[in-house]
Structure 1
Amino acid sequence: MRALAVAEGLKPPSYSSIGRLVRAIPESRIAAGSDPAAYRDNHELVHRREASISNEMWQADHTVLDVLVLDGDGNPVRPWLTVILDDHSRAIASYFISLDAPSVLNTALALRQGIWRKSNPDWIVSGVPEQLYVDNGSDFISEHIEQACISLKIRLIHSLPGRPRGRGKIERLFRTINDMFLPELPGHLIKGKMLSAPTLSLGELRIRFEAFVCGIYHPRPHGSTGEAPIARWQKGGFLPTMPDSLEQLDMLLVHVPKPRKVLRDGIRLAGQRYVEPTLAAFVGEKVEVLYDPRDLTEIHVYHEGKFICRALSPEHLSGASLREIQRARQNAKKRDRGESFSMEEADGNQEDTASRPTSVRGLRLYATDD
């Protein structure tokens, strides 16, 4: 200040005068100059988003659950939960629980479940939302989700990086799940410490979570609205906007179509065979296949963009997932590698070569009595 006064031809101020001026500056203004982020977090006026009707805005987010479940090999792992929440009613539109980290496919499957009618008659939340409010995760900013929202006329809104304004509602839902749902489960974790041995499979966890949503969370009055989420969602005879068909919704959301050729015995996908009498007219033709990786019992077949049929797998009616099939394949390859041996070992064990596999430059040969 003294240097500036001298440069302007003015009398320099005293130290006490400057000190008096500095002490009079509000702390908030000092914070704004030294740490803009801290100033913004403490003093910025926040606009609370509040949807006025059901399905006006949905929020989506992911979290890793504080519970251990058993995977296909019996190993304890922490699952990921994806939730879509209706902003107005606080009702849960859909969820997706997986052992894999969040992905575009998981998000698309959660959105598909939220939009379409559920098989559970107590879970009536459905319809196409006007807006979808998400963060900047790689799955939410993907071209696949963006194009699906455009086709469904959903306005996709991203929160600003580092400034998740309006995300408190879904964060509160996650706290409710941690406080009311997880403590009742075997394998519950508190600060990383396991309170009991995990016994649930991923499928059992999904069943329990849906029972919690429909039986406890939805009928219970919400602390902010004072109304039960399911009652608030359908208040005033609300009727959701639905897509034309489930096939159309699948074409937009489920997965990037897999090109396949219709063979005489059906369609091959993930090592499974899918058949349907309608496919007889398309033998030798190129088609596109859509599937739900959680359940490969059936696939949806499209030809030149038009839906043809749903084809079933006769060998796969148990409803195993793609992950389970991939794991079974990996285990089979490990067993095969454990059984294989080199040509040198084969020369030293000529006494028992019947049906024993031998590896030669990556090829597996089976010696037989013939």
Structure 2
Amino acid sequence: MLVDGEALPTNLCLFIDCYSRYVVEGRYYLKQTLDILIDSLIRAWTIHGSPKELYLDNAKVYHSDAMRSACYNLGIKLIHRPPRDPAPGGLVERFFGTSQTQFESEVRSGDIITLDAINQAFSAYLAVVYHARIHSETNQSPKQRYDEGLTVIRHVDMDAALAFFMKRIPRTVDRTFADVRIDNRFYRVDPKLRGDKVEVRYDPYGDLKKVLIYSANGEYLGSGNLYLRDQGAETPAASPSKPKHNYLDLITQKHKSILQAQAKGIDYHQIISERPWPFMAFVQKLALLMGHKGSLSAFSSHELESLKKCYNRIPALNESLLTEAFQNASVKTLPYIIRELQIAYSKKEVS
């Protein structure tokens, strides 16, 4: 994987449902740390809800007070893999073997060189190939077995869950610029805080456009917005690159076609009174709110699949509900926005 002209190794982090062998979340990262695990968990919990049990490897990185606290408060039994225990840890290892022979071999022989591109291709591989094929041990496809075995989704209060995992670092607000610096990024804060010592809290795998500012005593003081100190302007979003590869590009395009067919395949004569707002209009409005160009092309295949699931779960979804959720989202990324949609819909149902 090329990053700023330097070749770097990647690490695949994933969570798999033991019953169905369905990969509820999986993507490649440039490192293997607790932050990676947390990012994957947040993505999985946002879409699929929380499991009754969470089975992790026994490496030191997977033992943390934040993980134990989050699982305890969410009613999840946290289990660490004992030494020489083949199952269910072996399920993940077998998937790694399958992925290496079927997916990663194609990556190595092709020209996919960006992290976004490999993850887009990987989400397509899961949907089009792995989840659709009959598994040798269950005699069902992972998706069919997962859908049939799903009885209830245990929705997660993401605001409460994220509070356990936010990164916290002490900083002193710059007296001249009234900002704080994190990893060569500058965040403008309230000028009244010049020279004050504060605690900065943020999601290390969010869009990093906004951080939360707290006092040393834990009092919320406001937020800090990302900007270019030299220019005094917000940082422009980087334009995504497009992968070029025969096999992986094929399954990626097929995955997009499936999502488009699902979006267009609604029988409006039958459910026009129930779903007056089409899925395509929902995606287009969300892309506009997030400052993206286009509609379907603004999101990856994995993101579109997540949005389709969200759309299906909220029958009363409309433009005003989406706008409200977007405005209430503390960080303007899909997990936060989807969470706010769920909250807004729940309030609407109660009222």
The TM-score normalised by the length of structure 1 is 0.53
Mapped to 2, the partners of 1:285 and 1:146 lie a distance apart of 29
Structure number with larger C-alpha Rg: 1
1:305 and 1:265, CA in 2 relative to 1: closer, same or farther beyond 3 A? closer
Which SS does the other structure have where 1:139 is aligned? Answer: helix
Q: CA RMSD in A?
A: 3.2
What does 1:33-182 align with in structure 2 at a 5 Å threshold? 69-75=1-7, 77-100=8-31, 102-117=32-47, 126-182=48-104
Aligned to 2:167: 256
Aligned to 1:206: 119
1:301 and 1:210, CA in 2 relative to 1: closer, same or farther beyond 3 A? farther
Which SS does the other structure have where 2:6 is aligned? Answer: coil
Aligned to 1:299: 211
> What is the identity, as a one-letter code, of the residue corresponding to 2:71?
C
Which SS does the other structure have where 2:152 is aligned? Answer: coil
Mapped to 2, the partners of 1:234 and 1:202 lie a distance apart of 30
1:305 and 1:199, CA in 2 relative to 1: closer, same or farther beyond 3 A? same
1:92 and 1:310, CA in 2 relative to 1: closer, same or farther beyond 3 A? farther
Give yes or no for the alignment of 1:288 onto 2:200: yes
Q: Deviations over 1:296-326 (max 9, x none)?
A: 3333455636695574445434369xxxxxx
Question: Do 2:58 and 2:81's aligned partners in 1 also have CA atoms closer than 8 Å?
Answer: yes
Which SS does the other structure have where 2:14 is aligned? Answer: strand
Aligned to 2:237: 318
Offset of 1:262 from its aligned partner? 5.6
Mapped to 2, the partners of 1:170 and 1:307 lie a distance apart of 43
Mapped to 2, the partners of 1:199 and 1:140 lie a distance apart of 30
Q: Deviations over 1:173-198 (max 9, x none)?
A: 1122123212322x24xxxxxxx6x5
> What is the identity, as a one-letter code, of the residue corresponding to 2:201?
V
Mapped to 2, the partners of 1:248 and 1:240 lie a distance apart of 18
Which SS does the other structure have where 1:132 is aligned? Answer: strand
Mapped to 2, the partners of 1:259 and 1:251 lie a distance apart of 17
Give the length in aligned residue pairs.
229
Mapped to 2, the partners of 1:92 and 1:216 lie a distance apart of 12
Mapped to 1, the partners of 2:67 and 2:130 lie a distance apart of 28
Question: Do 1:272 and 1:316's aligned partners in 2 also have CA atoms closer than 8 Å?
Answer: no
> What is the identity, as a one-letter code, of the residue corresponding to 1:179?
T
Report the structure, 1 or 2, having the larger helix content: 2
Question: Do 2:198 and 2:213's aligned partners in 1 also have CA atoms closer than 8 Å?
Answer: no
> What is the identity, as a one-letter code, of the residue corresponding to 1:257?
R
> What is the identity, as a one-letter code, of the residue corresponding to 1:103?
T
Q: Which has the higher contact order (CA 8 A, sep 6+)?
A: 2
Runs of 5+ consecutive residues of structure 2 not aligned to the other structure:
228-232, 240-351
Offset of 1:95 from its aligned partner? 2.2
Give yes or no for the alignment of 1:240 onto 2:172: no
Report which stretch shifted further, 311-320 or 142-151. Answer: 311-320
Which SS does the other structure have where 2:209 is aligned? Answer: strand
Query: Identity of counterpart residues, as a percentage?
Result: 23
> What is the identity, as a one-letter code, of the residue corresponding to 1:259?
P
> What is the identity, as a one-letter code, of the residue corresponding to 1:271?
N
Q: Deviations over 1:261-287 (max 9, x none)?
A: 5667444322322247xx578775734
Question: Do 2:27 and 2:122's aligned partners in 1 also have CA atoms closer than 8 Å?
Answer: no
Question: Do 2:202 and 2:210's aligned partners in 1 also have CA atoms closer than 8 Å?
Answer: no
Mapped to 1, the partners of 2:56 and 2:201 lie a distance apart of 29
Offset of 1:239 from its aligned partner? 3.1
Offset of 1:86 from its aligned partner? 1.1
Which SS does the other structure have where 1:107 is aligned? Answer: helix
1:165 and 1:244, CA in 2 relative to 1: closer, same or farther beyond 3 A? closer
Which SS does the other structure have where 2:133 is aligned? Answer: coil
Offset of 1:115 from its aligned partner? 0.9
Runs of 5+ consecutive residues of structure 1 not aligned to the other structure:
1-68, 118-125, 189-195, 321-370
Mapped to 1, the partners of 2:23 and 2:121 lie a distance apart of 15
